[in-house]
Amino acid sequence: MRLVCISDTHSLHRRIPDIPDGDVLIHAGDCLGAGTLENVEDLNDWLGTLPHRHKIVIAGNHDWVFQEAPALARDALTNAIYLEDSGIVIEGVRFWGSPWTPTFLDWAFMLDRGEALHDRWMQIPEDTDVLITHGPPKGIGDEASMGFRCQNVGCVDLLHRIEQMRLKAHVFGHIHEGYGEYTLGNTRLVNASTCTVRYEPTNPAIVLDI
């Protein structure tokens, strides 16, 4: 199965130079700009032009309408499967998606570090093959520029959870500076942020064959 991974397009999806074909397109959150229903409708129209047989979308911290008017947002997203602490099996491969990230300022889908996030990650089924979260685990694709220094801002409880599992792949975004491919044991990890730190949608989609 070929996975084509993108994230953090921030409603700039029509400016992406190229998206390779594959079996499953995965969008790991921050698909919207202003986080409005109109943004979802435009995203949905664009997704409908892509050739992938299956498309999975999760929300991110910019995707307010999925938190504030979830029924309307889901109804508008007819050209993709939306996952929110939920999963789907596609051609025998088990996917699970979750939008949560550690609290930072006042954004959507944020929870305090510790018990609140730990409980969300413990919902991930043991037999998951491909995990999709908006945010990264601690120390992997999570180094963010904080003024004159960089800081690892990923979730340590998410790291502990994926260390307990036998994932084939973990796809995330959120930290634009962390774009790229990583490994943890036998698990392939992808920070698929499409936008650069300057919010230019020029990072290529990352393709995984599992």
Mean pLDDT over the full length of the chain: 96
Mean pLDDT of 60-89: 98
Phi/psi at 115 (nearest 5 deg)?
-60, -40
pLDDT in tens, 119-136: 999 999 999 999 999 999
C-alpha distance from residue 190 to each of 4, 137, 141, 156, 206 (Å): 11, 11, 8, 17, 8
**Angstrom distance (rounded) from CA 81 to CA 169:** 18
Would you say residue 146 has pLDDT above 80? no
pLDDT in tens, 5-60: 999 999 999 999 999 999 999 999 999 999 999 999 999 999 999 999 999 999 99
Q: What percent of the chain has a predicted confidence (pLDDT) above 90?
A: 93
Say if residues 206 and 170 touch (Cβ distance below 8 Å): no
Other Cβ atoms less than 10 A from the Cβ of 133: the count is 29
Q: Which long-range contacts (CB under 8 A, 24 or more apart) does 106-111 make?
A: 107/61, 107/62, 108/35, 108/59, 108/60, 108/61, 108/62, 108/63, 108/64, 108/66, 108/67, 108/68, 109/59, 109/60, 109/61, 109/63, 109/66, 109/67, 109/134, 110/61
Is the model's pTM score more than 0.85?
yes
Residue 126, token pair as written in the block: 């043991």
Other Cβ atoms less than 10 A from the Cβ of 163: the count is 12
Sign, CA dihedral 164-180-11-18, equals negative
Mean pLDDT of 111-116: 96
Phi/psi at 72 (nearest 5 deg)?
-65, -40
> Which domains are delineated in the chain?
2-209 (3.60.21.10)
* Better-scored residue on pLDDT, 89 or 144: 89
What pLDDT does residue 12 have? 98
What pLDDT does residue 196 have? 97
What pLDDT does residue 145 have? 79
pLDDT in tens, 160-170: 999 999 999 99
What pLDDT does residue 105 have? 83
Banded model confidence at residue 106, pLDDT cuts 50, 70, 90:
confident
Mean pLDDT of 61-85: 98
